[in-house]
Amino acid sequence: MAGFDKVVSSYEEAMAGLEDNMTVIAGGFGLCGIPENLIAEIKRKGTKDLTVVSNNCGVDDFGLGVLLPDRQIKKIVASYVGENAEFERQMMSGELEVELTPQGTLAEKMRAGGAGIPAFFTATGYGTPVAEGKEEREFDGRKYIMEESIKGDFAIVKAWKADRYGNLVFRKTARNFNPMAATAGKITVVEVEEIVEPGELDPDQIHTPGIYVDRLIQGTFEKRIEQRTIRTADNS
């Protein structure tokens, strides 16, 4: 690596420095736009007792779900979970701590974390179990709760294309939580389908500027579909 070149040569190098008990922020929604090879590398490394911040926790044999059997996740912060049997077992037995967070609040916690904003007020969750133990304030006659932002020791991100400087372009709804996750890691690691030379991406079309990206690697992706729904061509 030299200058602004963020490209690393192996997944081992991409996740170097990840240690037990760290916090990892992951992009993705369901199985869409997840950093699947970076997750697989965490499984291979065997890092334990991680706090994982992600909208969901994958399925039994794909995505973040693969970190469950060896108890690599101590705590998960997510909005919607339980798409897999091992997750359910660990949650019910108390082995896995689950902090349910509304989806918009979770996105904003990451965004704020990356933007140097320690906390914010939102009406989301006021008067619900989510508000327990949180400061309440009234603005213009409406009640809000204070939510603290989130930062990660690592952020793991999946983008479509990048140039070697780490400027990122996402594809379709695989964007989801990835741009916010990218801003919120002390070390942000991004895997992409294609790396191009600086200058090949239009500066006006960059979704995430390279300043947020520390390490970049090109991978191949399974892109598993969770709910395959199709129509027949004549049934429109």
Partner 1 sequence: MALSREQIAMRVAQELQDGYYVNLGIGIPTLVANYVPQGMEVMLQSENGLLGMGQFPTEDELDADMINAGKQTVTATTGASIFDSAESFAMIRGGHVDLTVLGAFEVDVNGNIASYMIPGKLIKGMGGAMDLVAGADNIIVTMTHASKHGDSKLLPECTLPLTGKGCIKKVLTDLAFIEIKEGKFHLLERAPGVSVEEIVKLTSGEMVVPEHVPEMQF
Which position among 13, 86, 153, 226 is part of the footprint of partner 1 (CB under 8 A)?
Answer: 226
Name the phi and psi angles at 193, rounded to 5: -85, -25
236 binds partner 1 (CB under 8 A): yes
Compare residues 1 and 115 and give the one whose CB is closer to partner 1. 115
229 binds partner 1 (CB under 8 A): yes
220 binds partner 1 (CB under 8 A): no
9 binds partner 1 (CB under 8 A): no
Q: Which two tokens stand for residue 159?
A: 């983008």
Q: 226: buried, middle or exposed (CB in 10 Å: 19+, 13-18, 0-12)?
A: middle
Shortest separation between residue 172's beta carbon and partner 1, angstroms: 4
Which position among 43, 48, 74, 224 is part of the footprint of partner 1 (CB under 8 A)?
Answer: 224
DSSP classification of residue 204:
G
Shortest separation between residue 160's beta carbon and partner 1, angstroms: 8
CA-to-CA distance for 199 and 212, rounded, in angstroms?
A: 18
Q: Is the dihedral of CA 31, 35, 40, 44 positive or negative?
A: negative
Q: Which two tokens stand for residue 143?
A: 């009640």
Span of 3-11, 17-25, 194-202, 219-227 interacting with partner 1 by CB under 8 A? 219-227
Let me know: does 152 contact 179? Beta carbons within 8 Å.
no
The C-alpha R_g of the chain, in whole angstroms, comes to 18
Q: How many CB atoms lie within 10 A of CB 94?
A: 8
From residue 149 to residue 188, the character string flagging contacts with partner 1 as x (rule: CB under 8 A) and all else as - is -----------x---------xxxxxxxxxxx--------
Binding site for partner 1 (CB under 8 A): 29-33, 55, 78-82, 88, 91-92, 98, 100, 102-108, 110-111, 122-130, 160, 170-180, 207, 223-233, 236
